[in-house]
Amino acid sequence: MKIMIDMDDVLTNFNIAFLRVANEMFGTPIETTITIWDFWKCVPGLTLDMEEKVWEKIKSMENFYETLPPYASARDLKKLSSLLEEGKHEFYFITSRFPTKGRSVQAQSQRWLEKHLGRSGAVIISSNKGQLCQILGIEYAVDDAPHHIENLLSHGINTYIMDWPYNRHIEHRFRIRTLGEFLDSII
């Protein structure tokens, strides 16, 4: 079986990392529920101009993606690591991350996987996940970003939605709350 797993806000907690940088820069709250894809529309005290400055700061941070905290639980990461080691399924970690200072996005992502899973995996950087998954023959995918979910679904990919308030407007029967729930559903 071929499986695609998004990294940010499925494996890693990008949202909290963004909120921490915004807090350091502008004193905005860290404990904020991201209800809309545009941070400035849901983070109290954050303007569009401030959000753009946070993105610029993140781009200037060396190896930013390697430092992201896990979103998936230690138990779920261990389960994924065991499945990778078992080798019965092909896993692809497809992410649409932008470059930051330091190592390439792919190298940073692979190093994060090595640190948290004890092994790396096939990391692909792409913003057209649906077409790429179609080409790769992906049978199941999990993502959180509304535009990626819609792109995956429009390409006929069996997609599970990592449930976040900002993607609840998408009507879809495969909605999960954890990485483990996704893995249990498909394997």
Considering 6, 76, 143, 144, which one is annotated as catalytic? Answer: 6
pTM of the model: 0.95
Task: Give the whole-angstrom CA distance, residue 52 versus residue 139.
Answer: 36
What is the structure's pLDDT at 173? 84
Whether the predicted pLDDT of 172 surpasses 90: no
Give Cβ neighbours of residue 156 (< 8 Å, ≥ 6 apart): 134
Considering 8, 9, 76, 144, which one is annotated as catalytic? Answer: 8
Q: What is the DSSP string of 10-34?
A: TTB-HHHHHHHHHHHHH---SS---
Whether the predicted pLDDT of 136 surpasses 90: yes
Whether the predicted pLDDT of 137 surpasses 90: yes
Is residue 8 among the annotated active site residues?
yes
Return the domain boundaries, the chain.
2-13+69-186, 14-65
Task: Give the whole-angstrom CA distance, residue 170 versus residue 57.
Answer: 31
Give Cβ neighbours of residue 30 (< 8 Å, ≥ 6 apart): 16, 19, 20, 23
**Mean pLDDT, residues 155-176 taken together:** 95
Domain 2-13+69-186: CATH superfamily is HAD superfamily/HAD-like (3.40.50.1000)
